[in-house]
């Protein structure tokens, strides 16, 4: 992510070595460098603008501690601002409700919903010691339902399979009943995606949402999709009361922009990162750690 950002900052500030204070003047070029790095990483423009403004405000006038070079001092400000933009604190899943507590996953096709459903199931079972049931409401793609059933078998969750021809909302209702009968603690509902946002899809997810009243409504988004991630985040954020985001494929050669933009656009915390295709490749999202990774 943002390969070499701290190096770029360091280099362009080498010239001001020896001066005791960061000024508007001596950080100008460096801020341009940071701005470029963020744009190259596909961070949405409004986010970049606000980011640079915040860094400027905090940096100008700052005394450079004796132990730091001006470059290091500015890197520190950038690091703190990265953390702030990504949400400061790690935000855990909210599971405080009468079981079965529902987690609803929404997002575009290919974003990684089905994979994430299985990963979350495994995480909840292993780490939180929860009993988990899974269901897919993707009636247009029978293969997607089968894929989840297979994954459920692999991670050892129970799976609700509806009769063929059942409508998505009814599947969700029935799955709730099933999860109750199973004494499941958590029901994870995987929903249909489309290649593009459309009104039909949004209405379908809203209906399912109303049927199962999830405690967590997570928007699943592919970190590699840059500006498209921002657009779909906006659309899903308007259609659904999201409670958080799962950023998938963060293991790929992601330029990292989505991590910064999506939080800004949705106003919701990134709760997890997908770090691979396997069911154990899910990491809690720690803004401070990701900020350090970005600056590495």
Residues of each annotated binding site for GTP: 107-114, 190-194, 248-251
Q: Is 115 in the site for ligand GDP (CB under 6 A)?
A: yes
> Between 102 and 144, whose beta carbon lies closer to ligand GDP?
144
Kindly indicate which of the ranges 2-10, 87-95, 125-133, 274-282 contains the residues binding ligand GDP, using the contact rule CB under 6 A.
274-282
SS (H, E, C) the chain: CCCCHHHHHHHHHHCCCCCCECCHHHHHHHHHHHHHHHHHCCCCHHHHHHHHHHHHHHHCCCECCCCCCHHHHHHHHHHHHHHHHHCCCCCCCCCCCCCCEEEEEECCCCCCHHHHHHHHHHHHHHCCCCCEEEEECCCCCHHHHHHHHHHHHHHCCEEECCCCCCCHHHHHHHHHHHHHHCCCCEEEEECCCCCCCCHHHHHHHHHHHHHHCCCEEEEEEEHHHHHHHHHHHHHHHHHCCCCEEEEECCCCCCCCHHHHHHHHHHCCCEEEEECCCCCCCEEECCHHHHHHHHHC
The least CB distance from residue 270 to ligand GDP, in Å, is: 13
The least CB distance from residue 249 to ligand GDP, in Å, is: 4
Kindly indicate which of the ranges 40-48, 57-65, 177-185, 248-256 contains the residues binding ligand GDP, using the contact rule CB under 6 A.
248-256
Q: Single out the residue of 8, 76, 113, 271 in contact with ligand GDP (rule: CB under 6 A).
A: 113
The least CB distance from residue 90 to ligand GDP, in Å, is: 18
Kindly indicate which of the ranges 24-32, 103-111, 153-161, 198-206 contains the residues binding ligand GDP, using the contact rule CB under 6 A.
103-111
> Between 54 and 109, whose beta carbon lies closer to ligand GDP?
109
Q: Is 277 in the site for ligand GDP (CB under 6 A)?
A: yes
> Between 83 and 220, whose beta carbon lies closer to ligand GDP?
220
> Between 260 and 281, whose beta carbon lies closer to ligand GDP?
281
Q: Is 110 in the site for ligand GDP (CB under 6 A)?
A: yes
Q: Is 252 in the site for ligand GDP (CB under 6 A)?
A: yes
> Total binding residues for ligand GDP by CB under 6 A?
18
């Amino acid at each position: 992510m943002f390969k070499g950002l701290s190096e770029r900052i360091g280099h362009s500030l080498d010239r001001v070595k020896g001066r005791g204070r960061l000024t508007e003047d001596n950080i100008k070029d460096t801020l341009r460098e940071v701005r470029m790095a963020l744009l190259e990483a596909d961070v949405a423009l409004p986010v970049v603008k606000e980011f640079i403004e915040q860094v400027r405000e905090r940096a100008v006038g700052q005394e450079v501690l004796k132990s730091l070079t001006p470059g290091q001092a500015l890197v520190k400000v950038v690091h703190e601002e990265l953390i702030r933009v990504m949400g400061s604190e790690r935000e855990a899943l909210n599971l405080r409700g009468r079981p079965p507590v529902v987690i609803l996953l929404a997002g575009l096709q290919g974003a990684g919903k089905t994979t994430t459903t299985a990963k979350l199931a495994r995480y909840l079972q292993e780490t939180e010691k929860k009993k988990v049931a899974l269901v897919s409401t993707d009636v247009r793609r029978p293969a997607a339902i089968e894929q989840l059933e297979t994954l459920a078998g692999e991670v050892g969750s129970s799976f609700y399979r509806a009769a063929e021809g059942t409508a998505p909302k009814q599947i969700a209702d029935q799955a709730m009943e099933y999860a109750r009968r199973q004494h499941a603690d958590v029901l994870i509902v995987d929903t249909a995606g489309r290649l593009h946002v459309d009104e039909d899809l949004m209405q379908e997810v809203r209906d399912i949402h109303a049927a199962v009243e999830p405690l967590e409504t997570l928007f699943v988004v592919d970190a590699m999709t840059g500006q498209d991630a921002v657009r779909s985040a906006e659309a899903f954020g308007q259609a659904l009361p999201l409670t958080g985001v799962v950023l998938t494929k963060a293991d790929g050669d992601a330029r990292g922009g989505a991590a910064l933009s999506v939080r800004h656009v949705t106003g919701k915390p990134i709760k997890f990162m997908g770090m691979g295709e396997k069911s154990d490749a899910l990491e809690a999202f720690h803004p401070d750690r990701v900020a350090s990774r970005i600056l590495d």
